[in-house]
Structure 1
């Protein structure tokens, strides 16, 4: 069969798949790497790990295609947003990649907000002012190591790193990832002068922005290593969030996509760049005429993983010896199903990694409220799941406030394998939740965008008819009503504790103030 290979570079793994024009998966692989947290507020990746993982994923999937007799028509790329690394003039990394979870730019974020510049910047760039964004990361570098900022030839993120390694092309960036930098005016389609001034960066240090359907070619050495023909097309592709909508068939009006992995997000597609008046939603490109609005939450499966590491010491069950973390998390979620909805009055603010949507407040912290003696481990885990799903429901409420009601949700990610996660999500959103037939929705979206770039899928909404999804889980009406009553308490508690969090931050070890050495 003719296939397109999709390469999706994520925070802790790179996924590779091969898919046909009708959305069928023919091969898949996953290459993992560690996220480094070398100090308070830091979250970094070794750029070479990402490059090596992309090459290995491509090589492994291409080999599987050859064994099946499939012909690879093209390769298409997906990358996670909000990362930044110093690079040389050729786009090769000169230091670690600072990821979306890094919070060192909190002070610079506060300065932008205090100056009253945040809402206008978000309206033009589509990206909230938050420590996650390359805008504030560059502003942090400007404050801590201005000479390094000035003298570094290039600055870029995941897509620039992988593209430079794989493509026989100049230093480029797709419109989708550019729209998530906080540096790019999504209306005028140029690097934003005010954002560049705040960042202290020059346009020449950033990549040239091109449409997500731009077709390049694999480097001859990469094509040879993967056993692919010389000149194999390489579609520059888009960011992971917009591509997840495409890979889930969540492009028609009223259909939203939920990603539940390490972090989470809720997104829906609109036909033009859109800025919400309250500044609660981002707006990132899928193509030049299809845009994704939504909100990302920092904490999803990571909260259950933390619970497993913190609460499951000595957690024993038949066959548990030697179980890995995924198995332990699944066992904890099964245990948590024994707890009634609402966790017997226990409320979790699950902000272990800070939080993004819908408030985009830097420095938020997690908390349990209402803790009593009768609450046990199962309550703590269930309450954490409920807290994450309630956060996504707050994002859905922002859609409705802007005139984009959601009637259907399609979900993907590792967490949706859990019955508890899906049931709580459906009740919190008060919407039916259908699970994608493949867990690799983002990589599949990259394949579909590649087919669109090649002219084989002219109408992206056709993807909705191609994607296999399961029978929707419908919300329990009583649980939905309960979560609706609890949701205002989430928002009230989160905002009310901000002053306390600031006081705690003064007592905690300070975030590092100096730039990481190359």
Structure 2
């Protein structure tokens, strides 16, 4: 069978898949690495581990293809957005990769907002002004490490780093990833002069922006390691969010995609760049004529993982010994399924890693409200899941306000294996949720986009129609009505505690030297 390999570099793992001509998965691998948290508000990755993981994932899937007797006809790349890494002139990393979850640029973000420049920047670049964005991260370097900013030959993100590791080609980045930097004008298709001035970065330090269907060549070294022909097309691909829409079949009008991994997002596809006047939604490219609008939330599966680590130390189901974190979290979710909607008066603001959409207000922190003596661990876990789904519902409400009607949800990500997650999501959004019959929708999206680049699917909706669905979950009417009434309290509570948590941050002691942590989610 002729297959395409998709490599998806995520926050805590790189996934590799090989997919056949109708999207059937022929091989699958995953390479994990830790997220480093060297201090409050920091979130970094080792870029050497990241590139090594991409190569290993490609090696492993290519080997599986040979064992299956399949022929690899192309490779497609996916990468998570909003990362920043200093790079040498030959593409080697010169420091840690700063991830989307890193909040060090909060002060720079607040200054841009206070100056009233944020809405115009977002309208031109499609990216909200937020500490997640490379725009504000570079502004932080300009104020705190100006020498590093000025003397670094290249500044890039995950895609630039992986492309440099896999090819000997030029310094390029795809339109999709560029549209998520906050530095690129998605309407005039050039690096934005005002954004570059704020970031104190020069055009020559940034990559050339190319279409997501651009074909590159593997380096001879990587070709030897993988056993693939050096001339197999390497399609530069797109960002993980837009590719997830394609990989779950959510490109037609009225269909939206939800990703529920470490973080989460709700997105729908439109046919041209568009801006949200209220500043609630991002706009990123999938191809030159298909764009994705939506909102990302910082906290999804990571919230249940935190609950398991915090509330279930030594927890074991009867008859289970030595179960790993995934099994423990699944058991906690089964417990939580016995709690009714609303967690009996318990409201969770699940902002453990801050929050993004729809408010894009740095400094938000998590909280439980309404906590009483009779609340138990299952209540705490269910309330956390409800909090994540309510945040995604606030994004869906923003769609409605902008006239982007959605009638169906396609879901992907590790959390959708849980019926509790999917059921609460369907009721919070008040929409039927269809779960794609593939564990790696984003990597599959990279495969489908690569086939589109090869000319197999001139219409992306034709490719999306190949994606099989494993199950449909309708909303529970009573739960949906309850969540709709509860949602205004979520927004009121989140914004009401913002000043309090800001003061708490000022009172928090600085971390002791040598207390760097590595987090695996």
What is aligned with 2:290?
290
Note the 1:97-496 alignment, pairs <5 A.
97-496=97-496
Report deviation, 1:147.
1.0
Distance of 2:511 and 2:129 partners within structure 1:
19
Distance of 1:174 and 1:509 partners within structure 2:
41
| Contact 1:41/1:511 (8 A) holds in 2 | no
Instruction: Report the count of equivalent residues.
Output: 513
* SS in structure 1 of the partner of residue 258 of structure 2: strand
| Contact 1:104/1:511 (8 A) holds in 2 | no
What is aligned with 2:5?
5
Distance of 2:335 and 2:54 partners within structure 1:
37
Distance of 2:402 and 2:64 partners within structure 1:
46
Distance of 1:495 and 1:21 partners within structure 2:
48
Report deviation, 1:312.
0.5
List per-residue Cα deviations over 1:384-441 (Å, max 9, x = no partner): 0000000000000000111101100000001011111010000000000010100100
Flag as ranges the 4+ runs of structure 1 deviating above 6 A.
Answer: none
| Contact 2:316/2:328 (8 A) holds in 1 | no
| Contact 1:285/1:291 (8 A) holds in 2 | yes
Distance of 2:314 and 2:150 partners within structure 1:
52
| Contact 2:177/2:238 (8 A) holds in 1 | yes
Residues 1:20 and 2:20 aligned together: yes
Distance of 1:23 and 1:242 partners within structure 2:
17
Distance of 2:279 and 2:366 partners within structure 1:
23
Residues 1:75 and 2:75 aligned together: yes
RMSD across aligned positions (CA): 1.1
* SS in structure 1 of the partner of residue 237 of structure 2: strand
| Contact 1:77/1:446 (8 A) holds in 2 | yes
| Contact 1:167/1:219 (8 A) holds in 2 | yes
| Contact 1:126/1:283 (8 A) holds in 2 | yes
* SS in structure 2 of the partner of residue 155 of structure 1: strand
| Contact 2:257/2:268 (8 A) holds in 1 | yes
Distance of 1:319 and 1:160 partners within structure 2:
48
Distance of 1:214 and 1:511 partners within structure 2:
45
| Contact 1:166/1:218 (8 A) holds in 2 | yes
Report deviation, 1:511.
9.1
Report deviation, 1:70.
0.6
Distance of 1:490 and 1:304 partners within structure 2:
19
* SS in structure 1 of the partner of residue 224 of structure 2: helix
Distance of 1:272 and 1:510 partners within structure 2:
46
| Contact 2:299/2:350 (8 A) holds in 1 | yes
List per-residue Cα deviations over 1:151-173 (Å, max 9, x = no partner): 11110000000000102311000
Distance of 2:284 and 2:44 partners within structure 1:
23
Report deviation, 1:315.
1.8
List per-residue Cα deviations over 1:263-312 (Å, max 9, x = no partner): 00000000000100100000000000000000000000100000001100
* SS in structure 2 of the partner of residue 108 of structure 1: helix
| Contact 1:280/1:398 (8 A) holds in 2 | yes
* SS in structure 1 of the partner of residue 462 of structure 2: helix
Task: From the superposition, tell whether residues 179 and 415 of structure 1 become closer, same or farther in structure 2 (CA, over 3 Å).
Answer: same
* SS in structure 2 of the partner of residue 372 of structure 1: coil
* SS in structure 2 of the partner of residue 75 of structure 1: strand
What is aligned with 1:50?
50
* SS in structure 1 of the partner of residue 257 of structure 2: strand
| Contact 2:316/2:323 (8 A) holds in 1 | no
List per-residue Cα deviations over 1:176-228 (Å, max 9, x = no partner): 00000000000000000000000010000000000000011111111111011
Distance of 2:113 and 2:421 partners within structure 1:
35
* SS in structure 2 of the partner of residue 471 of structure 1: strand
The answer for unaligned runs of 5 or more in structure 2 is: 517-521
TM-score normalised over the length of structure 2: 0.97
Distance of 2:95 and 2:348 partners within structure 1:
37
Distance of 1:67 and 1:138 partners within structure 2:
45
Report deviation, 1:90.
1.4
* SS in structure 2 of the partner of residue 345 of structure 1: coil
| Contact 1:40/1:509 (8 A) holds in 2 | no
Distance of 1:116 and 1:465 partners within structure 2:
43
Distance of 1:105 and 1:238 partners within structure 2:
25
| Contact 1:220/1:231 (8 A) holds in 2 | no
TM-score normalised over the length of structure 1: 0.98
* SS in structure 2 of the partner of residue 303 of structure 1: helix
The answer for unaligned runs of 5 or more in structure 1 is: none
Distance of 2:84 and 2:69 partners within structure 1:
39
Report deviation, 1:510.
5.5
